[in-house]
Structure 1
Amino acid sequence: MKKQVFLFFLIIGAGLTACSYHLQVTGSKQNVDDSGKSSVEMDSLIAPYRREMMKEFGQVIGEAETDLVTGRPNSTLGFWLCDKLIQHAKDSSFFRNEPVVAFINIGGLRADLPKGKITVGDIYKVMPFDNRMVFLKLSLDKIPEMEAYLKEKGGEPIGGFKLEKGKLVFPDNLAKEKNYFWVVTSDFLANGGDNMFFFNKPLQRFDTNTLFRDFIIEAVKKEQKIVFYPEERINW
Structure 2
Amino acid sequence: MRFIKTLFIPVLTLLIAACQKPGYHLTNQTYSRIQVDSLAAPADSDMTRFLQPYRQRLDQTMNEVLAVSTVRLDKAKPECALNNLLTDAMLQYGNQKLGQTVDCAHLNYGGIRTGLPQGPIRIGNIYEVMPFDNQLTLLTLKGSMLRQFLEYFIGSQADENALVVSGVRVVIKDNVLSSITFTNGKTFDPNQNYTVLVSDYIANRGGGTAFLKDAVARKDYAVTIRDVFIDYFRQLGKAGQPITPTTDGRIAIQ
TM over 0.5: yes
Q: Contact (CA 8 Å) 1:143, 1:168: kept in 2 or not?
A: no
Q: For residue 211 of structure 1, what is the amino acid of its counterpart?
A: T
In 1, the alpha carbon distance for the partners of 2:147 and 2:181 equals: 14
Instruction: Indicate the structure with greater helix content.
Output: 1
Length-normalised TM-score, structure 2: 0.71
Q: Contact (CA 8 Å) 1:102, 1:159: kept in 2 or not?
A: yes
In 1, the alpha carbon distance for the partners of 2:53 and 2:36 equals: 17
Alignment partner of 1:158 out of 151, 155, 165: 165
**CA deviation after TM superposition for structure 1 residue 17, in Å:** 8.8
1:132-154 Cα offsets, whole Å, 9 max, x none, are 11100000111442243223333
Find out whether 1:170 has 2:184 as its counterpart: no
How many percent of aligned residue pairs carry the same amino acid? 23
Note the 1:55-134 alignment, pairs <5 A.
55-91=60-96, 95-96=100-101, 100-134=103-137
Alignment partner of 1:192 out of 205, 218, 222: 205
With over 3 angstroms needed to count, the CA separation of the structure-2 counterparts of 1:168 and 1:125, relative to structure 1, is: farther
Alpha-carbon RMSD: 2.7
Bigger Cα Rg: 2
**CA deviation after TM superposition for structure 1 residue 199, in Å:** 2.3
In 2, the alpha carbon distance for the partners of 1:105 and 1:217 equals: 18
1:71-110 Cα offsets, whole Å, 9 max, x none, are 21113222112112222233369534xx610111111111
**CA deviation after TM superposition for structure 1 residue 116, in Å:** 1.0
Length-normalised TM-score, structure 1: 0.76
* Moved >4 Å (runs of 4+): 16-21
Q: Contact (CA 8 Å) 1:66, 1:229: kept in 2 or not?
A: no
In 2, the alpha carbon distance for the partners of 1:94 and 1:55 equals: 32
Note the 1:186-225 alignment, pairs <5 A.
186-224=199-237, 225=242
Counterpart in the other structure of 1:181: 194
Q: For residue 61 of structure 2, what is the amino acid of its counterpart?
A: E
Structure 1: gaps (5+ residues): 1-15, 23-35
